[in-house]
Amino acid sequence: MRTLLGLAPYFRRHAGAFSAGLAAAVLADLFALLPPQVLARAVDAVAGPTAGGSGRPGAEVPGALAQSAVLLVLLVAAAGVATWAARRLLLGTSRLVERELQSEVYARLLRLPTSAHERLRAGDVFARLTSDLSAVRDVLGPGLMHATEAVTYAVVATALMLATSPLLTLYALAPLPFLAVASAWSGAVTHRLARVSQEAYAAVAQRAGTGFAAIRVIQAFRREEAERATFRALDEAYVRATLTLARVRAIYLPVVAGLPGLAVAGVLWAGGREVMEGRVGYGALAAFVWYVLKMVSPLVAFGWVVTLGERGAASLERLRELLAEPVEDPGGPPPATPAPARGLLEWRGITLARGTGAAPSPVLRDLTLRIEPGSFVALVGPVGAGKSTLLATVPRLVEPPRGAVFLDGRDAREWPLGDLRAAATLVAQDPFLFGASVRENLLLARPGASPEEVARAAEEAGLGPDLASAWPQGLDTVVGERGVTVSGGQRQRIALARALLADPPVLLLDDVLSSLDAETAAGVLARLRERRRGRTTLLATHRLQAAAAADEVVVLSEGRVVERGPHAALRSRSGPPGPYGRMLERARMEEEIAAR
C-alpha cells in the first residue's frame, strides 16, 4: 500500500490505461471463474439419471454435455483475450511509468548542486536508476495484475461458494488466517531485507565503476588481486543479502501453496458427507473442488505480490530520497532584455567552509577581492590556499553565501543560474571528456558553432600541432571514454578550447596549464592575452612563469589575500621579500638544484 500511495501521481497521469487494464484483468478472472458452474451443470446432467436409479443417462444428456463443452471453450477464449488486453495495458503502462520516473530522477540529478554529487556514490545512483526502478515497475505491472487476480478470485469465488454451501465454504477458507499471519511476517522481513540487498548491489556497482575508471592505477601498482578480493567481498555481501531474501520467499511460498491442499482435503471430507445426505449435489461438490484448486495460483501469486510490493516499497523509498535532494537555487528571474556581462568580479568578505563532519574547516576566510572587467589575473598560492574554491564560487559550482560573490555588482545568488554560467565558464584542472570526437566535445559548449569557429577555438587553445600531426583524423579523432586515449595536456587543451568556443565574458582557469610543457603553456598564454577581446580571465596556477604573463598577481594563503600587484612590482619590492617574492626565490632554487 505504501508503494501504491507513493505512485499516486503516476496512476493519475495514466488513469485511463490503468483503469482499462484493471477492468480487463477483472473480466479475465470472471471468465475464469465461470467454468466451474458449467462443470457443475454437466456433472449433474450425467449424475442425475444415475441417481434416479435408471443407471443410464437420458437422451438429453449428450446435448447438455455438448453445450457445456462449447461454453467452456468460449469462456476460455474470452478469458485469454481479456488476459492479453490486461497484460498489454498494465505491463505496457508500467514501462511508461518506469521511463517517466527514470527521466524524473535523472533530471533531478542534473539539477543537484556539486556538493550533493560529491556526497552521493556513483554506484548507488546507478543502482537506483536501474534495479530500484525495475522493482517499482514490477509492482505497477505484474504485481498489480496478480493482486487484482487474487482479490477478484477471493471475492467472487467466496460469493459463489457461499451461495452453494456455507459449510463447505468454511472448510475452504479455514486456512486463510494462517495465510494472513504468514503474509504479515513475510512482508515485514522482505521490506527490510530488500533495502539491504539494494544497498549491497549499489556497493558492488560503485566498486565496479571505480575499478574500471582507475584500471591504469590498479595495474601500475599491481593491485589486481587486492582489487579482485575487495570486489569479491562486496559481491559476497550482495549474494548473502539476496539469498537471505530468497530463503524468506522459499519458506513463505510453500506455505501459501500448501494451504489450499488442506482446504481441498477438508472440502472432500465434509462435501462427501453433504452429498451422501443429499444437501449438496455432485456438480456442486466438483465446482467446490475446482474453486479451491483454482485458488492455489492466486494465493501463490498473492505471496509473490507481497514480496514484490515490499521490495518495490523499499526501492521507492530510495528513489524518493534522491528526488527529495534539494536542487540548485535557480536565482532570480531573467531580465526581459539581458545585457551582456561586463566581467566585474567581487568577493566581499566571503567565508566558506567545505567538507564533512561536525566542524568542517574553512577554505576561504573573510576574503575580499575585486577584479576589474577585462583583467587577466593570476591566482597563486600553496596547495589548499583556496584558489579552486574561489573560482568555483563564481558560477556557483560551489554555493557561496548570499552577499558574498558579485558579478557586475549583482549578487551571484540573484543571477538566473543559466545566465550566470553562460557569463562565467570554469575549466577544471582535471577536465572530463566524453567518449566522442574532439569536435563533439568542443561543440558541447556551443552546438551551433560553425566549423571555422571550432577550428579557431582549437588553435587558440594550442591544439594546432596535435591536429596537424598527432591526430590524423583531426577534429574528428575520437578521444575515448573520459578522454583516456589522449594525454593529460591534450585533455586540458581540449577543455580550454571548449570554454573558448563558448566565448564567455568571464573565463576561470583552474591550473589548466599544469600538464603542459613550458613552451606550449607560454604559447597558450600569449594567444589568450592577444585574443581576450575584453574578457575577464582568472588563472589559478602553480607556474610562476604563467603568473608573470598576467596583468596582476593575487597571492592567497590559508583562504585570505595576502598580497596582490603586477608581477614586476611584487618581484622587485623593497625590503624583505613578500609572499610572492619568497615563492619566486624558492622556484629559482628548485630550478638550480634540478639543473645540477
**Residue pLDDT, tens place only, 10-43:** 888 888 998 999 899 899 888 887 877 777 777 7
Q: What is the mean pLDDT of residues 454-477?
A: 84
At 316, list the grid cell: 521507492
Within this chain, do residues 78 and 178 fall inside the same structural domain, yes or no?
yes
**pLDDT number for residue 285:** 75
Q: What is the mean pLDDT of residues 146-161?
A: 80
Within this chain, do residues 257 and 192 fall inside the same structural domain, yes or no?
yes
Which range, of 47-56, 123-132, 230-239, averages the lowest pLDDT?
Answer: 47-56
259: in domain: yes
385: in domain: yes
pLDDT at 50 over 60: no
173: in domain: yes
**415 vs 258, higher pLDDT:** 415
490: in domain: no
Within this chain, do residues 293 and 412 fall inside the same structural domain, yes or no?
no
* Full strand arrangement of the beta sheet holding 345-353: 362-371, 345-353, 405-407, 410-411
216: in domain: no
Within this chain, do residues 255 and 404 fall inside the same structural domain, yes or no?
no
148: in domain: yes
Within this chain, do residues 8 and 152 fall inside the same structural domain, yes or no?
yes
**Distances 267 to 40, 41, 53, 258, 285 between C-alpha atoms, Å:** 16, 19, 27, 15, 8
pLDDT in tens, 554-586: 999 999 999 999 998 888 876 778 888 888 888
E strand or H helix at 66: helix 61-111
CATH code of 303's domain:
1.20.1560.10
**pLDDT number for residue 53:** 39
Half-sphere exposure of 84 (CA within 13 A, CB side): 6
pTM assigned to the model: 0.68
Within this chain, do residues 285 and 378 fall inside the same structural domain, yes or no?
no
Which range, of 67-81, 170-184, 359-373, 414-428, averages the lowest pLDDT?
Answer: 170-184
Q: What is the mean pLDDT of residues 387-397?
A: 92
Within this chain, do residues 422 and 564 fall inside the same structural domain, yes or no?
yes
pLDDT in tens, 191-231: 677 778 878 887 887 787 777 666 666 776 677 788 888 88
217: in domain: no
Residue 169 is part of which domain span? 2-201+243-323
Within this chain, do residues 87 and 185 fall inside the same structural domain, yes or no?
yes
Within this chain, do residues 150 and 68 fall inside the same structural domain, yes or no?
yes
**pLDDT number for residue 213:** 65
**Distances 136 to 99, 191, 248 between C-alpha atoms, Å:** 11, 13, 20
Within this chain, do residues 184 and 249 fall inside the same structural domain, yes or no?
yes
CATH code of 386's domain:
3.40.50.300
Q: What is the mean pLDDT of residues 263-279?
A: 73
Within this chain, do residues 135 and 189 fall inside the same structural domain, yes or no?
yes
* Average pLDDT score over the chain: 81
d(CA 583, CA 581): 5
Domain count of the fold of the chain: 2
**pLDDT number for residue 429:** 84
330: in domain: no
**16 vs 486, higher pLDDT:** 16
Within this chain, do residues 365 and 314 fall inside the same structural domain, yes or no?
no
**pLDDT number for residue 55:** 46
